[in-house]
Structures are given as C-alpha cells and as structure tokens.
Structure 1
Amino acid sequence: MSEVLDVLQRRAGTATFAELRAVVSGRVIRTALADGTIRRIAKGVYAVPPATDALAAARAQGGVVSHLSAAVLHGFAVLELPGKPHVTVPRGQHRRLSQLDCDLHWADGVPSDGRCTGKLRTVLDCARTLSFPAALTVADSALRLGAVDRSQLLIGATALTGPGSRRARRVAAAADGRAESPLESTLRSLLIEARIEGFEPQVAVRDHGFSARVDLGHPELLIALEADSFAHHGTRIALTRDCRRHVNLTIRGWRLLRFSWEDVMFDPAWVVEVIRQAIAGSPGHHNSRGSVSGSRRRRVLRGL
C-alpha cells in the first residue's frame, strides 16, 4: 500500500481515482479502501483517514498543537503522518480527561489557546524528538518552503539545552532546502549516518543539448543517486522519459543508482553498501574521468 499512500502524501492528503489508477491497479485501490488504509471522501476522491483533530485535542488539553502534528499543519513534508495528535502543554499541568487521545508533551512558556507552535519551534521540536531521517525531512521541507532560514535554524538549535539538543543541532547542520522529497531527504540521511561524503542535493547536469537534475550527485566521481517514487515513474510516458534521461546521463559519464521507497526505508544497509561499492570502483563500474588518486579516494571513502 506504500504507493497509494505516497500518491496521497504528495498531493496534500487527497487524490482522484485517476491519479491513483495511474500508479496502482484498481484491485490495490479496492483493498486499501477495504482495510481502511484510505477512505472515499467524495465521488472519485480519496484521502488518508483522519486522525483525531489536532486542534480539538490541543484545546481539550489547554495546550498547542506541536511536533509532527504542527509540521503537518504548517504544510511541511513529513516522512510519516502522526498516528495521534501531538500536543504541548505548560510544564506541571496534568493530562485532562478527554475523549480525544493525543501524545502529550510539556514545556515552559506554552500558550493555552489551542493553536499551533511557530514554524521554527516546530522544526526544532521535531529535530529533538524524531529519528534523524524523519527530522531531516521536516527541516529540509521548512527550508525549501522558506518557512525558516538556515541561520535561524542553526541559531535556534545552538540555543537549545536539555534532552535532544545535540540531536537537534545535528539535524540543523545537515538540513538543506534543495531536497525535494521526503524520500530524497531520507536517502541523504543514510549517507550522512554512514559518513559518505561528496554528494549534493539536486545537482544540475547541463551541456548544449541536455539538461537534467539528479536527486543526489557526486560531481567529482560522476555518481548520481535517485530516490524513485513510484508515483512519478509508474506510467508509460514516465518510463519513456526516464529511459532517455538515463541514457543521456550515462553517455555523459554519469553512473546512475536508482533506489525505490522499499530500498531506502526497509533495506538501508543494502543501499549504503551498493553506494560504497560504486565509489570504490567495484567490477562493472568505471570512472569516466580516470582513476581517482589514492589519497583522494581515501577522503571520499572516509568512514567506509
């Protein structure tokens, strides 16, 4: 069902039957409806079933929508939608009895108006509490949308103290507004955690007859990494376009490694290993610029 959810997430939570059908079969759509993965909200329109209303839960607890729930309200990309609303209340306040379930957090200086934490505060809260890939996804998206700028994020993270502050500073240092999707941010997080250096987001490859961008590119070694969402590659037109793009990159000396959602999310060790093999020049991979010097290769492979 990951393809169905991917389409919905990339379209702000809703999609038409035609948009879903371009990616998955009718049987998959019917199965997703039957098991509650998606719901029909109008004729020919589908959505992810809503969790408890985050704003209502915040009002019930006398706090504010925060963390991942606030990221969704701000329109930031998220790796996964929260299962329950996240609500922050003033420190020392007890959980109130309510029919609206939520994940409760406590902090100083929280207004009790039932609204949402600010954009910078939301990014920092996510950076403190989420996994590195999930936090980087939110931070990348906030930078890309111009909701916060890099200096604000770095200063805010530096000022943090207490649990999660070191994690937040790591996320702030790695965040990059050039990233264009949660899957791309997650793929980059694997490189960072594996200490594989030299890859940059959205590298442009241009000459007089060709122009393309790769999700993550190593300009020195001419290795390109693509985080492939099935929603963007599941039609005949997309297949034709991608084949030609792949050929054009190849004849210009680029080695293109393409990873699916399942690769990145469920087999990260394999993803890291094949990238290491490509960098190291495993059989079948050759650098069009010639061999890389031993000292330079050691720098590229640092931490491998």
Structure 2
Amino acid sequence: MEQFCDRQFGVFTTRQVFLEYTRAELRALLARGEWVRVFHGVYREATTPSSVTLRVAAARLSMGLTFLAASYHTAAELHGFSVINDGLTHVLGIQASRSQRLIVHRDRVDPAQLEPINGIVTTNAARTCVDLARALPRMDALATLDLALRQGLSRAELGVEIERQAGRRGCRQAAELITLADCRAESPMESRTRLRCIDARLPHPEPQLEVQTQDGPRRIDLGWRQWQIGLEYDSATWHSGEPAAVRDNPRHNSLTTQGWTIFYTAAPHVYQHPHTFTEPIRQAIATRRA
C-alpha cells in the first residue's frame, strides 16, 4: 500500500487494497487493528496518525471525487485558528455522506475563495472565518475571529467577505462580532471571557492590558485602566500549582500596591455563571466612578 499512501496523504481505498489482498485478508487486518477505517471504503495503517490533511484526503476518496474542499471547522484546522474540535471532517459538496463523522456543506463557493494548504484545497481564511462566525455560538465565534486576526488576517478582509455573504443565516451575528474582534487576545478563553463582559453591558475591557509597577511592567488578561480594575482568567494548566503561585503572586501583589483591584474567573463561571464575575466588576466600577 505504500505507493498509494505516499500519494494520498497516508490513506488507501478498498479498490486499491484488492490489488494486493483478498477480502478475508482486509477483514483480518481490520480485526487485528493493523488497519483503521477512516471513512466508508478508505483506510489508514494504525501506525499512521490521523491528521486534518489525511481526513480530507480520505473524504475525497470515500466520495469518489477528484476535487474536494475543506470548510468550516476543518478549514480552520488547516489555517491554524480552530478553537472547536468537534471530531468531524467538514467539506463542501453536493453529495451526501455515508459517515456520521463526515459533514458535507452544500454551500456555494467562488473559486477565488479557495486556496491550497499543504496540498489540500480549503476555503480561504476570510471565508472560513465568516462561515464559522455565522454558524458557531457567539463565544466560540469571537474566539475564532480573535485568533485569526492574531495570525495575520485583516479586519478589512473580513469586511469584504461579510459583504459577499450578506443575507445568509448568521450574518448579523458575524458582522457584530467582527467589530468586537481583537488580535490582542492570547487564548480562546480570554476571548470568551471578554464577550461575557461585553454582553453584560460592562465598558469594553482592554485585552492584555499592560500596567507599569514599581517591579516593572505587568500584564492583565482584561482590564479597565480608567478605574484600575482587572480580570484574570484562571486556566487549570497555567494558573495551578506552586510554580504558578511563585510566578503569579508577586505580580498580583505589585498590582494591588499600585491600587488595582483584580477579579478572577474560570471556565465553569465563563460558560455557566458569568454574573459571578461581571456583577462584582460592575459594582467596583460604580464605586470608583463615585
């Protein structure tokens, strides 16, 4: 199978298998776990790791097509600004899929909206971003836009694309979130936290706000400089354990010495109970305004 795998991103079809193996041998290799079924009629060796390029190549072969374009979540993976891993492969087409893991979107696309990445055709960055900004929940959509801007996509390109898609479902949400997107956000959860603040009708916070202290510059995930109020998102991986305390505590102490009030939040609060941090911040801003 090597000659096929080398040309097809590590996958091969049932038809290609039968050039060298019998049906019984195919079943035995699958049963022993030496080969893995990717999509209907397409396989990979167990030692070949799955990847986004492999999955799109497998989708094209499974559907019997000579051309297939990745889209939505899968296109975002190829571009490097995916924030949601739904475990599915998303492509454009008109042919129905026989796999629950393969989603075919029957969207029209202009050839100018396509580009190759690592040998795989995909919707370009702007088209991908706007598609996701229309389709995803608001918090995930903004996180996608923030990351895409951080990686170099321009707001102007997004503006052109949103005009191109005017009238499609979700365009109003996408247009609103494009105006809120900010390349300074350093993680998807920071983006989601920022949107919770905006949706709570707080003054818009500044991402990665830098404060000069007597111990040097300090950065806060989100902040309101006018009122010296900051909000930190506590990641379980980055802000836990003794090393995190050794790193974070002096930083927070120096901010407090400068007169800053720092609030904290974590994923459960952002997703389910945003009032637990937005309301205390609202009260703190009101107090400092007074």
In structure 2, C-alpha distance between the alignment counterparts of 1:256 and 1:55, rounded to whole Å? 49
Q: Which amino acid aligns with 1:71?
A: A
Aligned to 1:75: 80
Instruction: Tell me if the contact between 2:87 and 2:101 (Cα under 8 Å) persists in the aligned partners.
Output: no
Aligned to 2:107: 107
In structure 2, C-alpha distance between the alignment counterparts of 1:265 and 1:204, rounded to whole Å? 26
Give the Å deviation of 1:53.
2.3
Question: The residue matched to 2:233 in structure 1 has which SS?
Answer: strand
Q: Give runs of aligned pairs for residues 1-304 of structure 1, distance below 5 A.
A: 53-58=55-60, 60-61=62-63, 62=65, 63-78=68-83, 80-89=84-93, 93-96=94-97, 98-99=98-99, 101-109=101-109, 115-146=121-152, 148-161=153-166, 162-207=168-213, 209-281=215-287, 287=288, 292=289
Q: Which amino acid aligns with 2:275?
A: A
Instruction: Report which structure shows greater RCO (CA 8 Å, sep ≥6).
Output: 1
The ranges of structure 1 where at least 4 consecutive aligned residues each deviate by more than 4 angstroms after the TM superposition are: 49-52, 110-114
CA change 1:191–1:158 in 2 (3 A) is: farther
In structure 1, C-alpha distance between the alignment counterparts of 2:87 and 2:211, rounded to whole Å? 40
Give the Å deviation of 1:178.
0.3
Give the Å deviation of 1:99.
4.4
Aligned to 1:301: none
In structure 2, C-alpha distance between the alignment counterparts of 1:208 and 1:251, rounded to whole Å? 9
Give the aligned CA root-mean-square deviation in angstroms.
Answer: 2.7
Give the Å deviation of 1:152.
1.5
Q: What's the TM-score, normalizing by structure 2?
A: 0.72
Over residues 123-152 of structure 1, what are the superposed CA-to-partner deviations in whole Å (9 max), with x where a residue is unaligned?
111011001110111110011111x11221
Question: The residue matched to 2:196 in structure 1 has which SS?
Answer: helix
In structure 2, C-alpha distance between the alignment counterparts of 1:50 and 1:234, rounded to whole Å? 31
Larger Rg: 2
Percentage identity across paired residues of the two chains: 34
Q: How many residues align?
A: 233
In structure 1, C-alpha distance between the alignment counterparts of 2:195 and 2:177, rounded to whole Å? 10
Over residues 197-242 of structure 1, what are the superposed CA-to-partner deviations in whole Å (9 max), with x where a residue is unaligned?
1411111101453211111110111110111111112231211221
* Structure 2: segments with no counterpart, 5+ residues: 1-45
Instruction: Tell me if the contact between 2:223 and 2:231 (Cα under 8 Å) persists in the aligned partners.
Output: yes
CA change 1:143–1:53 in 2 (3 A) is: same
Question: The residue matched to 1:225 in structure 2 has which SS?
Answer: strand
In structure 1, C-alpha distance between the alignment counterparts of 2:100 and 2:205, rounded to whole Å? 44
Instruction: Tell me if the contact between 1:77 and 1:181 (Cα under 8 Å) persists in the aligned partners.
Output: no
Instruction: Tell me if the contact between 1:65 and 1:88 (Cα under 8 Å) persists in the aligned partners.
Output: yes
Q: What's the TM-score, normalizing by structure 1?
A: 0.69
Over residues 50-95 of structure 1, what are the superposed CA-to-partner deviations in whole Å (9 max), with x where a residue is unaligned?
79924422554453211122112211140x3123222222xxx231
Instruction: Tell me if the contact between 1:204 and 1:213 (Cα under 8 Å) persists in the aligned partners.
Output: yes
CA change 1:77–1:247 in 2 (3 A) is: farther
CA change 1:256–1:58 in 2 (3 A) is: farther
Over residues 106-134 of structure 1, what are the superposed CA-to-partner deviations in whole Å (9 max), with x where a residue is unaligned?
12236699622111111111011001110
Question: The residue matched to 1:104 in structure 2 has which SS?
Answer: strand
CA change 1:64–1:144 in 2 (3 A) is: same
Question: The residue matched to 2:106 in structure 1 has which SS?
Answer: strand
Structure 1, 53-62 or 161-170: larger mean CA deviation: 53-62
Give the Å deviation of 1:102.
1.7
In structure 2, C-alpha distance between the alignment counterparts of 1:99 and 1:110, rounded to whole Å? 26
Question: The residue matched to 2:227 in structure 1 has which SS?
Answer: coil
In structure 2, C-alpha distance between the alignment counterparts of 1:274 and 1:50, rounded to whole Å? 44
